[in-house]
Amino acid sequence: MIAYTQDVKSSLPHLYDPFSLVPYQDDRCQVASSRKCFQEDESKVQVDWTDSDSEHRVTRSTFTSLGELQAHQKSASTEPNGLRFISINQVNSWRPLNVTKEMFEEVGKLTRSSHVLHNLSLSFHDKFMATEAAFSSAPTFIWNEQCIEVAYILKYAFQKSNNDKPDSWTVRQTGVYQKYDTARNHSTWIFLNPTKDCLFQQRLMEILMSPFQCSQLMSHPLLIHNLLFATFFPTWREYIGSHEATVLTVSNTTMTERIQDPLRVNHHMLTSIRSVESRCLPLQALFRSFDKTLLILHKANNALRDCGSVQHLPWHKMDQLLDNYESHADAYLQAASFLQSRAATMAQLIADTFSFKNSHTAQEQSDYMLDLTSSTVDDSSTVRVITVVTLIYLPSTFMATLLGMNSFFEMDPETHKLIVSPQFWIFVVCAVPLTAVTVLYWWVRSKRHPKHAKGKVELLA
């Protein structure tokens, strides 16, 4: 017996880590390629790189090509007690990230990030409709002997223009990846922002330029999460309030008490209420996902305490802060659930009102048709009586008319006998064809009328 061996490594895809969520790199690359998560043209790329050392000195760099990133490899080493921020943006929230796939992988190599960073990129892709409205990419937490990693996507409400119309609100997302080196006390942050002028990014840069505020920010490795939450999370209250105002406007409309009166609601109101209901549907999933994010931040806070990176007091403050965010998320969840239920009830009430109004209109039409039918029956009875009377008097009337024609009939004064004129044929020649034409017209008309009526019925059907 001859045994053949084969190199198993050459036949299997590249394996990152058997404990990884995405052990096969090829799978993730295929999904990213199909979703068009990255730019294909390198002329449109940009990566903002900011480093802050232990003395709070800030160094900012912008890379617009893969070569510039690769050249930065030598100076990409982390300093103790420092911060690093890498920002990758989109043109808008429905467009790919402003990096190529090779540049994004290079950022991962330079920061030595795990697979969780690559999972975040799958949520930032080219799209033409609001897909994954209730999906926030499950938050991830990794803790080993070298570092602590946290990754999640925060979805938040954003008002596109300065007005209170519900249509001005949209839902955006920001991807967050943090890697904390427990040995060097260094945090690397990678943010995937929906636009370049992201408000959170602006506030973060302002804090970094202030040594005092930067020192406060570095008092706990997780405080930048609070900066992100404080910037975007409260907007959910305004978002819910704006849509609640739409529902209340319709709810406070005086609805008719009698179905006979004109309605004060219309189909446009029903459409707007249904729109509010559909916008509230994904909020429950988003707030529950935010609770999961707070849960992994609790785990990260405990891990920082266990490894000695934070003292008890900062740990306790962060623990309380996360608990307060959980309370606010629960309050927003209850408000969204109530608004959704109220919108559904109001929409059903308007639909029932339309149904009752249509039923009342149909009943009025039925009553009208009944009155019309009764009137037609009365007319038919009258016509029948007239017809019978006419049939009774028609022979005598005809004879009186015929005999009264002096041109054809005369009375002999001597013999008192009726004398028929030799010109009587004229009456026969005129009367018989006219009668024949009349009968023929009636016969043709009676034959064509059923076909015409049948054609109308088929057309309506």
- Give the per-residue SS3 of the chain: CCCCCCCHHHHCCCECCCCCCCCEHHHHHHHHHHHCCECCCHHHCCEEEEEECCCCCEEEEEECCHHHHHHCCCCCCCCCCCEEEEEEEECCCCCCECCCHHHHHHHHHHHCCCHHHHHHHCCCCCCCCCCCCCCCCCCEEEECCCEEEEEEEEEEEEECCCCCCHHHEEEEEEEEEEEEECCCCEEEEEEEECCCCCHHHHHHHHHHCCHHHHHHHCCCCCHHHHHHHHHHCCHHHHHHHHHHHHHHHHHCCCCCCCCCCCCCCCHHHHHHHHHHHHHHCCHHHHHHHHHHHHHHHHHHHHHHHHCCCCCHHHHHHHHHHHHHHHHHHHHHHHHHHHHHHHHHHHHHHHHHHHHHHHHHHHHHHHHHHHHHHHHHHHHHHHHHHHHHHHHHHHHHHHHHHHHCCCCCEEECCCCCCEEECCCHHHHHHHHHHHHHHHHHHHHHHHHHHHHHHHHHHHHHC
For residue 11, what pLDDT band results from cuts at 50, 70 and 90? Answer: very low
Query: At 461, is the pLDDT very low, low, confident or very high (cuts 50, 70, 90)?
Result: very low
Q: What is the mean pLDDT of residues 33-49?
A: 87
The mean per-residue pLDDT over the stretch 305-326 comes to 94
Query: Residue 152 and residue 138: Cα distance in Å, rounded?
Result: 7
pLDDT reading at 445 higher than 80: no
| 230 — pLDDT class (breaks 50, 70, 90) | very high
**Region 389-407 average pLDDT:** 70
pLDDT at 290 over 60: yes
Do 194 and 174 contact (CB within 8 A), yes or no? yes
| pLDDT at residue 211, as a whole number | 85
Superfamily (CATH H level) for 22-218: CorA soluble domain-like (3.30.460.20)
Position 124 pLDDT exceeds 50: yes
pLDDT of residue 13: 44
Spatial distance between the Cα atoms of 170 and 93, rounded to a whole number of angstroms: 10
| Partner residues linked to 61 by β-bridges | 49
Q: Name the band, by pLDDT with cuts 50, 70 and 90, for residue 258.
A: low
In this prediction, residue 133 carries a pLDDT of: 85
Instruction: Inform me whether the pLDDT recorded for 254 exceeds 60.
Output: no
More confident residue, 404 or 336: 336
More confident residue, 417 or 47: 47
Average pLDDT of the segment spanning 356-374 = 82
Residue with the bigger pLDDT between 96 and 197: it is 96
CA distance 390 to 384: 10
User: Cα–chain-centroid distance for residue 79?
Assistant: 46
pLDDT at 350 over 70: yes
Mean pLDDT of all residues belonging to the chain:
83
CB of 94 closer than 8 Å to CB of 5: no
pLDDT tens, 152-173? 999 999 988 766 565 788 999 9
pLDDT for residue 192:
94
Percent with pLDDT over 90 in the chain = 33
The span from the CA of 231 to the CA of 227, in Å, is 6
Could you state, in order of their start, the residue ranges of all structural domains in the chain? 22-218
Beta-carbon contacts of 137 under 8 Å, excluding residues fewer than 6 positions away, are 119, 120, 122, 123, 152, 153, 175
Q: Stretch 266-285: mean pLDDT, rounded?
A: 89
